[in-house]
């Protein structure tokens, strides 16, 4: 399905910050995520590294 599992700084289960994500928005200080249940998440001080539709994964990393 086209809902993403979002990882921060890795691809282990412990690196998951949100699942079933349908929208990601890059804001000045954070990345805003919205899942398909309508719940929002904020990931502070991060940037998007990869958006992978085949694996339904999005990878973020903490800004240096």
Partner 1 sequence: MLKIISTGKGGVGKTTTISTLATMMARSGKKVLVFDTDPSMNLAMTLGLPYLEVPTITEDKAEINEELDELEDGEALAVGKNIIENHSQINRDGIRIIVMGAIPEEGNGCLCSAIAIVKILLNYVDSPDCPEKYDVALVDSQAGPEILGRGLAKDFDCNLVLTEPTPKSAEVSRQVVSLAKNLGVRNSLLIVNKSEKESDIPKVAGLVGLPEENAVRVRYDHSVIDADWNNECLLDAYPECDAVKDIGNIKDRIEKLKV
CB atoms within 10 A of CB 64: 5
End-to-end CA, the chain: 32
Binds partner 1 (CB under 8 A): choice among 15, 16, 20, 57: 20
Rule CB under 8 A: say whether 26 interacts with partner 1.
no
Smallest CA-to-CA distance from 43 within 33, 57, 51 is with 33
Q: Which stretch binds partner 1 (CB under 8 A): 9-17, 35-43, 44-52?
A: 35-43
Rule CB under 8 A: say whether 16 interacts with partner 1.
no
DSSP state of 54: T
Please give the residue ranges that form the binding site for partner 1 (CB under 8 A).
1-3, 20, 22-23, 25, 32, 34, 36-40, 42
């Amino acid at each position: 399905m086209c809902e993403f599992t979002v990882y921060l700084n890795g691809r282990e289960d412990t690196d998951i910050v949100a699942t079933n994500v349908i929208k990601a928005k890059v804001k000045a200080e954070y990345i805003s995520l919205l899942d398909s249940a309508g719940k929002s998440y904020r990931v502070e001080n991060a940037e998007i590294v990869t958006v992978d539709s085949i694996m339904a994964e999005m990878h973020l990393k903490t800004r240096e």
